[in-house]
A and B are shown apart, each in its own frame.
Chain A
Amino acid sequence: MRLLTHNMLSSNIKGVANGFPLRIEVEKVVEKEVEINHDFLRNIFPKIDWKALSDASRIMGYHELPEEPPEPSVLEADIEFLRKFHHALLELHLEEGALLCPESGRKFPVNKGIPNMLLLEDEV
C-alpha cells in the first residue's frame, strides 16, 4: 500500500467521528522505484493532506519531507522537492503491518501490501 492510498483511506467504524488519518504500524516497508511524473505531482498536491503524508512517511523511515506543506510555487521550480514528494507518495510501500483507527485504536492488518478494512458486524 502506497502513501497515496493511505492519504485517502479512513476508518468507517460506527460511532467514529473522524477516522482519518489511519495510524501506521510498520513491520515491513518495501521501496519500489517508479517513473516520476511532475505534472501529476503538481495536480495532486492540492488534494493531499500534507500532515498525514509527512507523518506517515516518517513512520515508514523516510525523513526528507518537511512537516509544513510547501508553498505551491515550490512545486513549480524545485525539482528536488518534487523528487522527495514523489518518493514519499508513490515509492514507499507498507508491505506488512497494520493501520489503526485514530479514534478507536482498532487494528486493520496489512498483509502482502493489502490492507484488510473489513468491519465486524457490530462496527457497521
Chain B
Amino acid sequence: MKLKQLESLLGDLQQFSNPKVELEQYPTGPHIASRLLYTAENSFDDISNKVVADFGCGCGTLGAAAALLGAEQVIGIDIDSQSLEIASMNAKDLELDIDFVQCDISSLGWRGQIVDTVVMNPPFGTRKKGVDMDFLFVALKVASRAVYSLHKTSTRDYIKRTAKRDLNASSAEVLCELRFGVPQLYKFHKKKEVDIAVDLWRFVPRRSGERTINLRSAV
C-alpha cells in the first residue's frame, strides 16, 4: 500500500467526540500515523505478518495503520470505553480484524514478550506525571522486536538515559523529529493550534525469559 493511500484511509477515521483532558486524549493525525507505521514496516520489517499492540490506542489510528500494512494480528489497549467504542467502529468500517482490551497500561497483566511490536502515541505526562515512562516501561516488557513511540523532543536526553539504564532497552534511537499539531480541543487551549516538537523513537527490548510478569510501574 502506498503511503498516500494509507494516509488517506486513516484520515477518514472517526476521532474522539468528547476528549477527556485528564487522559490527554489527542488524535494521532493521519500524517504522523502513516509515517510511523510506514517506517516501521519498510525500514525495519516490524509490522507485516507480526503481532502488533497499540498501547493507549484511543480511536485506534495506529492499530488500524498496522493492520492496513499487513500486521497479522493487532491488539488495541486503552483505558477509556468510549474511545474503544469508536476504535471498534473504525476497525469495522475498514473491515479490519482488531482485538481490543480495556485496561490501564500501568496495571496491564501480560504473559511475557509475546507481541512482536508495540506502536504507541502515549500521553506525554502533562496531566499525570511520569505516565509516558510508565507506557514505555510496559511496552518494553511486552514486545520482543521493537517499540515505536512518540515523546516530546524536550525529554529526549532523559529518555535515552532511562530507557537503556532502567527500562530494559538494548537500543533507543530517535528516527526523526516531527511536529505534532495539537488542535484547540480543550477549554484551556488558548491558541487555535499549537505545534509541539515530538521525537519518533524506536526502542529494541532486551529479551528476557518467559514468565508471567507483573507489570507494576517502576518509574
Q: A interface vs B, CB < 8 Å?
A: 1-2, 4-5, 7-12, 18-20, 32, 34, 37, 39-40, 43-44, 47, 49, 90, 112-119, 124
User: Chain B residue with minimal CB distance to A10?
Assistant: B109
Residues of B within 8 A of A124 (CB): 107
**B79-105 interface (Cβ within 8 A of A):** 79, 81, 84, 88, 97, 99-104
Asked whether any CB of chain A lies closer than 8 Å to the CB of B49, the reply is: yes
Q: How far is the CA of A55 from the CA of B73 in the complex (A)?
A: 21
Chain A nearest Cβ from B93, distance in angstroms: 15
Q: Are B110 and A37 in contact (CB under 8 A)?
A: no
Instruction: Provide the bound-state CA to CA distance between A70 and B108, in Å.
Output: 30
- Please tell me if the beta carbons of B101 and A9 are within 8 angstroms of each other in the complex: yes
Give 29 pairs: A residue, B residue, CB < 8 Å, sorted on A. A4-B51, A4-B73, A4-B99, A5-B75, A7-B111, A8-B75, A9-B110, A10-B111, A12-B108, A12-B214, A12-B216, A18-B212, A20-B111, A20-B212, A37-B72, A39-B49, A40-B49, A40-B72, A47-B114, A90-B73, A113-B99, A114-B81, A114-B100, A114-B102, A116-B81, A116-B102, A117-B103, A117-B109, A119-B104
**Interface residue from B81, B104, B212, B216 paired with A19 (Cβ < 8 Å):** B212
- The complex places the Cα of A119 from the Cα of B100 at a distance, in Å, of 17
User: Hey, which chain B residues are within 8 Å of A9, CB to CB?
Assistant: 101, 109-111
Closest chain A CB from B65 CB (angstroms): 19
Contact of A5 among B88, B99, B215 (CB under 8 A): B99
Please give me the residue from chain A that is nearest to B101 by CB atom.
A115
Interfacial chain B residues near A117, Cβ < 8 Å: 101-103, 108-109
Tell me how many residue pairs across A and B have CB atoms closer than 8 Å: 79
CA distance in complex: A3, B75 (Å): 12
Q: Is the CB of A118 within 8 A of B103?
A: yes
Judging by beta carbons under 8 Å apart, are B110 and A1 in contact? no
Chain A residues whose C-beta falls within 8 Å of the C-beta of B111 in the assembled complex:
7-10, 20, 49
User: What CA separation (Å) do A118 and B109 show in the bound complex?
Assistant: 11
B81 surroundings in chain A (CB, below 8 A): 114, 116
CB neighbours of A19 from chain B (8 A): 109, 212
B4–chain A nearest beta-carbon distance, Å: 26
Q: Is B139 an interface residue (CB 8 A)?
A: no
Q: Is B115 an interface residue (CB 8 A)?
A: yes
Chain A residues with CB under 8 Å of B210's CB are: 47
Q: Which residues of A contact B79 (CB under 8 A)?
A: 118
